[in-house]
Amino acid sequence: METVTQDLATVTAAARTAAGPAAAATDAERAGWLHAVADALDANTAELVALADAETRLGPDRLTGEVARTTGQLRLFARVITEGSYLEAVIEHANPDSVPPSPDLRRMLRPLGPVAVFSASNFPFAFSVAGGDTASALAVGCPVIVKAHSGHLELSRRTAGIVADALAAAGAPDGIFALVEGRAAGTALVQDPAVQAVGFTGSIPGGRALFDLAAARPDPIPFYGELGSLNPVVITPAAIAARGAELVTGLAGSFTLGAGQFCTKPGLVFVPAGTSFGADLAAALSDAAPAPLLTDRIARAYPQGLAALASRPDVVVLSGATAQDAVADGAAPVVFATTAANVIARPAELLEECFGPTTLLVEYRDDAELAAALALVPGSLTATIHAEEGEDVGTLVAQLSGLAGRVLFAGWPTGVAVNWAQQHGGPWPATTSLFTSVGATAVRRFLRPVAYQDAPAALLPAALREDNPLGIPRRVDGVLQ
């Protein structure tokens, strides 16, 4: 059921009203809200997993683990806000002797206000109604309006009901959370004056359209989108010589995990020319079974992407059939191969993401050709290097650090730890900003700095008072305390 305009106006007005009380709540109170939601989701795991499996076909094991990740995220953000450093509290006492004289200045981060969150198809819990965007926004006092994904509507409705009931029982203000449905509602949500930021995970065309709407508003707002990522992998000759069979097995498992529907799937793998790596990978996948894709739209797009690559004279199909009926039969793995020289000559045609269980091997002749090809790879969430101890790969690591938000060594990018150190964002088109959508600093997206100059002590937020009643980390006169 699509949300109509008048219903959306009621929802956004309620969120605007809730913004003040949500921002004024203590970190401990908001942490209580998050724990209440996490506990409620855990208590209803079996029901939610059954709903999710019926709509996404991801399987009970994967979905049960994803519920645990989702509730873990909620509890992580509760720890983040009660620890306090997320506020970035800074105090500079007045200094009349400086040139020019300095007033008393105190700065901290404050919540933006109501946030719109667009659910993702490939993670019906962790990047959906109660996922990381919702959790990080609620944590810092921003009301959340979630636009449900059409691929799992029944799950979205039930999850939203659980979240809303838990928040109400925990004492959160009315209007702090809501669910809307339909493409028109999503578009209107981005343009609504009450909405102060947007979190989105999805396709480049869809994300770009919403990004442009957010920028074109009379009052432009930040759009935090995760849109697309090739996640390049570089394998050195020494690594193949030392552990080629292990690398074949690892890559096969990584790019087919979840039917290739992870945003961190390694879709571009640079291997030295003249090895048997491609043939070995093809052999490892000879008996690979097809797997269902999340939606019919994704299933229709997968064979189209395969056909586009297969039709090119500079691309070879190493494994799998490119003519597939992924809607009826599921998606089968396909491995393509080309050369770094071809990528350098035609990057726009070859460096195109294909959502599903496929990857492109790129053979390089030497370090110079590898560097030239990597320079053309679009921004990614991850970049991976497989090298051996003692190899001089410092220049390569620096180049990979420039094109991705997370650089992996001797591992595979599928699987994202949710903790204080995680970075899940990279240059365009991986994300539209510098901030991560996973991990503790995801809260930074929904905060803005405010400085108070010569403020009366009684009017200062608790985080900036002289006696530090919250006991949080702060920088005072340049010294971290």
Question: Strand, coil or helix: what is 438?
Answer: coil
Tokens of 233: 């992998």
Q: How many residues does the chain have?
A: 481
**Which of 66, 263, 354, 363 is flagged as catalytic?**
263
Distance (Å) of CA 203 to CA 130, 184, 263, 305, 448: 20, 17, 10, 14, 27
392 in Cβ contact with 240 (< 8 Å): no
Which amino acid is it at 33? W
3-state secondary structure of 25: coil
Known catalytic membership, residue 263: yes
Is-catalytic flag, 181? no
Identify whether 100 is preceded by a cis peptide bond (ω within 30 of 0). yes
How far is the C-alpha of 18 from the C-alpha of 378, rounded, in Å?
40
- Look up residue 430 and give its DSSP letter: T
Distances (CA, A) of 72 to 67, 75, 86, 145, 158: 8, 5, 18, 21, 19
Q: Which of 301, 262, 270 is nearest to 403 (CA)?
A: 270
Nearest to 167 by CA among 146, 191, 198, 197: 146
DSSP string, 71-116: HHHHHHHHHHHHH-GGG--EEE--BTTSSSPB--EEEEEEE---EE
* Cα distance from N-terminal residue to C-terminal residue, the chain: 52
Q: Give the closest residue to 105 by CA, choosing from 457, 361, 454.
A: 454
Q: Which residue is catalytic, options 55, 181, 226, 353? A: 226
For residue 177, the cross-strand partners are 144
Active site residues: 226, 263
